Structure 1
Amino acid sequence: MSLLLFSCEKDEDRITISTEGAPALTASATTLVLTQENGGEEAVKFSWSPLNLKWSQSDVAYNAVKYTLQLSPKGSNFATLTEVLADTVEKTFTESELNAVLTKLELPAEAAAQVDVRVKATYGGNVEAVYSAPVTLTVTPYKDIPVYPSLYVPGGYQGWSPDVAPRISSAKDDQKYEGFVNFQEASEFKFTSAPNWNNTNYGTGGAGKLSTTGDNLKVEEPGYYLLKADTKGLTWEAIKTAWGVVGDATGSWDVDKDLTYDATEKVWKATLPLTAGEIKFRANDKWDINLGDEKDDRPADGVLEFGSDNIKIEEAGTYEITLDLSNPAYYLYKLKKQ
């Protein structure tokens, strides 16, 4: 392989480059389970041997090689890929950085997948790139859950400890917060603006009202509550919920199939036979509070929104259904065919 870099009127002034071999790529790990909690930790380091260039005139030689890492779902032969530039002959990814790259490849979260990685070496615009042999990773990405501005919900039900209290969040950062809290007992509580008692705290200002000087708020009975708070309008609401799934895929749009709350995993679950059709999640056997997946012709992505589109079941079978409302203002579900 050769490249004409410089040209003069005489053939004897022509400078050429030739290459020998290709970069040899290695990875520090080939099986990875990524987690959001360890997002800042090193996930994998890729290293490769430099591409060896031979110049016809050594006095003008310089390091002309540029390296790019290419990642692709195994089996696609790099027809689908994402690229990451590298300044040297190595590249280290943190767990969050690698997860972001895998997200671009639209790999499913929480499921192991195989990814081919190779190095692309280029040293001129009019010559074909040189590629390393691929290295295959088996990697489990995570759903990148956003952390929105939040209020904390310390109370008697959890020891009045704001540093470990559940949160409700404002996805639009508009001082309107929402989230679900499991009260194992009737309990007093407050909203705090930080995971401590040293900042603005909210108690009752009367029925449905908030006050920064008021007494404790209260739920009168145990249960799984949708909490809402508006710190601009100084209002709040607590709605006790029990969740089910409904739709023609369950057999009825009128009668729910109940989900059961797992306090250890902090999710609602059921294993149910479903036919091809559609479903939705709804609370309290009513349509006041219902969750679907996407709208306006956007594809389903496992993230739920209030009042959005039905969830399609493409194939009949028995499914493990999981509804995860534990991330405030960012609600998830899974349908796993048994």
Structure 2
Amino acid sequence: MKKAIYSVLLFSLLSLLFVSCQKDMEKTILVKPASIQGFSASVTDILLNPDNKTQTVVTFKFEEPSYGTDVVPSYSLQFDIPSDTTGPDAWSKAVVVRLTGNAVERSFNGADLNALLVNQLNMKPGTKADLAVRLVSEILKTTGNPSSVAPVYSTITIAVTPFEDIVIYPALVVKGGNSWITPPPGERAPGYVLTSAGFNSKYEGYLNLPDADGWGGDAFQLVSSTDQKVYGWGTSATTIAEGGGNLWLTPSPVYMKVNVDLSTNAISYTPASFSISGDHNSWSTTETPMTYDVTAGVLKATGVSLTAGKAFAFIGNNSWDLSYKVDEDDKLVFAGPPNWGGNNIVVPATGTYTIILDLSRGAGNYTYSLTEE
């Protein structure tokens, strides 16, 4: 009899334990929401201008989706050109802005939104265009990687008109080492800066190393304009490290293109010489060389005879792989691989010109000029 009672009690306890565990398991099962409700923009037609740079111009809001249990999703906003939101590479070029904590709204002032549109999405200032904005809700593991629960999306489209602004790009500024005396990094002096035109981890600029130490090499460090971190020698001549000693490069003096990627701590140096290739010399990549003016910090060619309506481009190292042309707004742009972009520069009037190529202010700030002699 006692044995039977014990068996009943044991069965009851096990049943209760099973039910309890089952409930606990049910509580921890994540259920993907069907959608994200209420995703909207406070303004759907935004005209940006210098007067609203410091003002809030738009706020994106949404309702917190339910996953069936207490979790804190990771939210982000993706901004892209509508034509880049379809096909196999849909949204791959989007600019991603992550929301902090469990915030269910994100506001932008005019300056930040304008920089996102013009500098990161390459939208044309003064032209009204559609902007696709996608909200992403996802559950991340403690490692930061996505979980097995698929992300949930909600997309809206708004109209935006960006404006032409004076852009101050993030920069890495040269700080000379040993005998090389350079301007204070805070001055961002031309000829001593690498800039991030995409506001990301990649920096580019042209430097002329002066052989200040007198034995064929130069030493320097790079100072960040955003957080004043100092980068120097990494584990080799092609790497950098925060707090590292002097970067060392030889031979010098030499004019070169310098690229840095802070996400991989990589640095590369490409010695560069430039020439002008165009109709005037049957598109020769060597016939019209440019010389580097050390005092002015620019590349120059004088006595160049050009004909109105004809065209030319700037060629580096006798190859179109390093070349510069102009965009629709006559701004100098990289014309090499992989995109091979830009348009040839059209000569405004027949004459003999001094042509200047100024690469001293970092990527995004390259300019040229034609002065009739």
Please report the TM-score for the alignment, with normalisation by the length of structure 2.
Answer: 0.47
> For residue 71 of structure 2, what is the aligned residue in structure 1?
none
Matched residues, number? 193
SS at match of 1:252: coil
SS at match of 1:291: strand
Counterpart AA for 1:275: T
Q: What is the correspondence of 1:1-338 to structure 2 with a 5 Å cutoff?
A: 146-156=167-177, 158-159=180-181, 161-163=184-186, 166-185=192-211, 186-194=217-225, 199-220=229-250, 221-271=252-302, 272-276=304-308, 277-294=310-327, 298-299=328-329, 301-307=330-336, 308-329=342-363, 330-338=365-373
Q: Give the Å deviation of 1:195.
A: 9.0
Counterpart AA for 1:201: Y
Counterpart AA for 1:178: E
Q: Give the Å deviation of 1:323.
A: 0.8
Residue 217 to residue 211, structure 1, CA distance change in 2 (3 Å): same
Residues 282 and 289 in structure 1, CA contact (< 8 A), matched pair in contact too: yes
Distance in 2, Cα, partners of 1:238 & 1:337: 34
Q: Give the Å deviation of 1:144.
A: 7.2
> For residue 110 of structure 1, what is the aligned residue in structure 2?
none
SS at match of 1:249: helix
Residues 162 and 195 in structure 1, CA contact (< 8 A), matched pair in contact too: no
Counterpart AA for 1:162: P
Distance in 1, Cα, partners of 2:362 & 2:176: 18
Distance in 1, Cα, partners of 2:209 & 2:301: 21
> For residue 94 of structure 1, what is the aligned residue in structure 2?
none
Q: Structure 1, residues 272-322: CA drift from partner, whole Å, max 9, x if none?
A: 11234211111122222111011xxx24x2434343221112433211111
Residues 313 and 344 in structure 2, CA contact (< 8 A), matched pair in contact too: yes
Distance in 2, Cα, partners of 1:195 & 1:231: 13
Residue 304 to residue 254, structure 1, CA distance change in 2 (3 Å): same
Residue 145 to residue 337, structure 1, CA distance change in 2 (3 Å): farther
Residue 314 to residue 249, structure 1, CA distance change in 2 (3 Å): farther
Residues 191 and 203 in structure 1, CA contact (< 8 A), matched pair in contact too: no
Q: Give the Å deviation of 1:154.
A: 1.1
Counterpart AA for 2:219: E
Percent same amino acid among aligned pairs? 31
Distance in 1, Cα, partners of 2:269 & 2:245: 16
Alignment root-mean-square deviation, CA? 2.7
Distance in 2, Cα, partners of 1:254 & 1:183: 25
SS at match of 1:158: coil
More helix by share: 2
Distance in 1, Cα, partners of 2:257 & 2:312: 21
Q: Which runs of 5+ in 2 are unaligned?
A: 1-124, 127-163, 212-216, 337-341
More strand by share: 1
Q: Which runs of 5+ in 1 are unaligned?
A: 1-103, 106-142
Residue 144 to residue 320, structure 1, CA distance change in 2 (3 Å): farther
